[in-house]
Copies of this chain bind each other. A is one copy, B any other.
Amino acid sequence: MTFAAALQSSLAASFEFWIADSGTRLEDAAERVLPGAEDAPTRLHQAMRYAVLNGGKRVRPLLVFAAGEVTEAEVDALDRAALAVEFVHAYSLVHDDMPCMDNDVLRRGKPTVHVEFDEATAMLAGDALQAEAFKVLADGGLPASQTAALIRELAHASSTEGMCGGQALDLAAVGSTPTIAELERMHRMKTGALLKAAVLMGALSGRASLLTECTREALARYGEAIGLAFQIVDDCLDVEASTAELGKTAGKDAKHRKPTYASLLGAPAARAWSLRLRAQALQAIDGLGSSAQRLRELADFIVCRKS
């Protein structure tokens, strides 16, 4: 093995370790912050914990942690930002899975929240997780200007400008054949906005002096590109992978007659598009040096993932 190859392999191993370590760190933080399963109202608290503490991929927290390295953010601040984004993501999955939306029974290899508990509890657990997301930021010990900026970022990304708006466009698109531009807009809102927010919130959690306008702009462009790439890969996996591999029902999009990049372009062309977006993401943060190394590795992780 050449020195370069050995270094490459050692770096890859270190990335694998970082991913695993970050996942554990997020679970531990959630375990501490979420209301206790034995505290009343127990059923609601259990449903919230069930929705979050399930070993998801934690892509959004990983983006928060990685972007935090750029501004040398402290661990506690990053944990809070990561939890906030993950709580919003978790609530959206709980609500999306409900019978009036996608009516899905399987998520991360386990029964969905409304199946394991009941619909009323699932709806409340989603509602409460959204409140918890803002609470964990508001209760953080950061200077108020940072706290307010973090909350602003999350609120906009979760609103009808972002995630909720994208969900509504997604609902409206069922059975239709949108243009690629329309599909892109929907994807950028539905998934991209929260992933971009994860990147910016990681950076906002650190030293303000390191977050120049130029760095912020670079991170925003990275977040936008990688956010769209993530959803395109999701579309492809829904076609390519099995339910066992995904831990959620495969082939959902076709079943629900949802237009996707895979259905509009075919999976190979969609894959090619995701690789171009990866290149754009990497180019955006080219000037950020070694502090952005985790973000570069995450770009590959997001595009090459198998579930």
Contacts and interface: CB of A to CB of B under 8 A. Distances in A.
A168 B44 CA distance: 6
A135 to B, nearest CB: 4
A224 interface: no
A171 B95 CA distance: 18
Nearest to A134: B155
Interface stretch (A66-74, A157-165, A206-214, A272-280): A157-165
Contacts of A100: 98, 118-120, 123
A121 B41 contact: no
A45 interface: yes
A148 interface: yes
A200 to B, nearest CB: 14
Interface stretch (A1-9, A125-133, A230-238, A284-292): A125-133
| Copies of this chain, count | 2
Contacts of A148: 138, 144, 147-148, 151
Nearest to A163: B131
Contacts of A165: 40-41, 44, 128
Given A43-B172, A126-B127, A144-B144, A135 B156 contact: yes
Nearest to A126: B127
A181 interface: no
Given A144-B148, A152-B138, A169 B41 contact: yes
Nearest to A133: B155
Nearest to A171: B120
A158 B135 CA distance: 9
Given A131-B130, A131-B159, A160-B48, A124 B35 contact: no
B135 A159 contact: yes
A48 B160 CA distance: 10
Contact of A138 (B43, B151, B167, B168): B151
24 contacts: A35-B160, A41-B169, A92-B127, A95-B124, A98-B100, A100-B118, A100-B119, A101-B123, A120-B171, A127-B130, A127-B164, A128-B159, A128-B160, A128-B164, A131-B160, A131-B164, A134-B151, A134-B154, A135-B152, A135-B156, A137-B151, A139-B152, A144-B145, A147-B148
